[in-house]
């Protein structure tokens, strides 16, 4: 009887030990081959971050190109039959201010590093819009700005059309 009891208690010890060690042993085995780790294995790619996309301002050609576009636009406007009444009289320091304003405005719209701090654009008539867009696109093209960038610049300016027109009562 005593022998039987001893055998039983030894058995109990062995079984409970297996039960306790079981998960540890299992865990140990599993931990050696973790699924995610083996999937993630391999060297880190060197250039993980894609380069930031260039702004329209950069793609147009930066400060120098934009300055040529502004000059061309204002010269074109001063010569255009439907715009010259408004633009030809702007000369000297007034023209220089307008150049800077238009430059800062366009640069800001194209996500360049400028900040336009001038007043809102004056109220226009519908009849002046089309000719202005025409001279602006010609100035972009004369400055050598590509078609894709010209289209993008127009897409930026088109929403301004409604804001510039006199409010209908």
Taking the complex as a whole, the smallest distance from the CB of residue 148 to ligand HEM amounts, in Å, to 19
Residue nearest to ligand HEM (CB): 132
Q: Return the SS3 of 96.
A: helix
**Could you tell me the CA-to-CA distances from 128 to 5, 78, 131, 164 in Å, in that order?**
109, 12, 6, 11
Which stretch of DSSP H or E encloses residue 155?
Answer: helix 147-157
Q: How far is CA 46 from the centre of its chain?
A: 23
Options 4-12, 31-39, 60-68, 85-93: segment touching ligand HEM (CB under 6 A) = 85-93
Kindly tell me which of 55 and 86 has the beta carbon lying closer to ligand HEM.
86
94 binds ligand HEM (CB under 6 A): yes
Does residue 73 belong to the site contacting ligand HEM (CB under 6 A)? no
Query: Assign residue 61 a region: left if phi > 0, alpha if psi is -120 to 50, beta otherwise?
Result: left
Closest distance between ligand HEM and the C-beta of residue 50, in Å?
32
Least distance (Å) from ligand HEM to the CB of residue 121? 4
Asked if 83 interacts with ligand HEM (CB under 6 A), we say yes
Q: How far is CA 20 from CA 6, 10, 28, 113, in A?
A: 21, 15, 13, 66
Residues in 100-159 at the binding interface with ligand HEM, rule: CB under 6 A: 101-102, 105, 118-119, 121-122, 124, 128-129, 132, 157
Secondary structure element (H or E) that encloses residue 166, with its range: none
Rounded to the nearest 5 degrees, what angle is found at the Cα of 168, between the Cα atoms of 165 and 169? Answer: 150
Comparing CB distances to ligand HEM, the nearer of 63 and 157 is 157
Q: Residue 116 Cβ, how far from ligand HEM at the closest point, in Å?
A: 6
- Written as six digits, the tokens of 51 are 């380069």
Q: Is 98 one of the binding residues for ligand HEM (CB under 6 A)?
A: yes
In 3D space, the residue among 96, 101, 110, 98 whose CA is nearest the CA of residue 62 turns out to be 110
Chain residues that interact with ligand HEM, rule: CB under 6 A: 83, 86-87, 90, 94, 98, 101-102, 105, 118-119, 121-122, 124, 128-129, 132, 157, 160
């Amino acid at each position: 009887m005593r022998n039987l009891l001893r055998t039983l208690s030894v058995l109990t010890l062995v079984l409970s030990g297996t039960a306790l060690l079981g998960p540890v042993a299992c865990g140990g085995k599993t931990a050696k081959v973790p699924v995610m780790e083996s999937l993630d294995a391999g060297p880190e790619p060197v250039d993980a971050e894609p380069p930031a996309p260039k702004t329209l301002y950069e793609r147009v050609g930066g400060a120098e190109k934009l300055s040529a576009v502004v000059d061309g636009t204002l010269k074109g406007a001063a010569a255009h039959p439907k715009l010259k009444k408004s633009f030809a009289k702007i000369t000297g320091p007034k023209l220089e201010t307008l150049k800077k304003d238009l430059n800062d405005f366009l640069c800001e719209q194209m996500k360049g590093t400028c900040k336009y701090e001038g007043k809102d654009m004056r109220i226009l008539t519908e009849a002046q819009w089309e000719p202005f867009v025409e001279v602006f696109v010609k100035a972009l093209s004369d400055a050598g700005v590509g078609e894709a960038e010209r289209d993008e610049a127009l897409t930026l300016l088109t929403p301004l059309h409604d804001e510039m027109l006199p409010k209908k009562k």
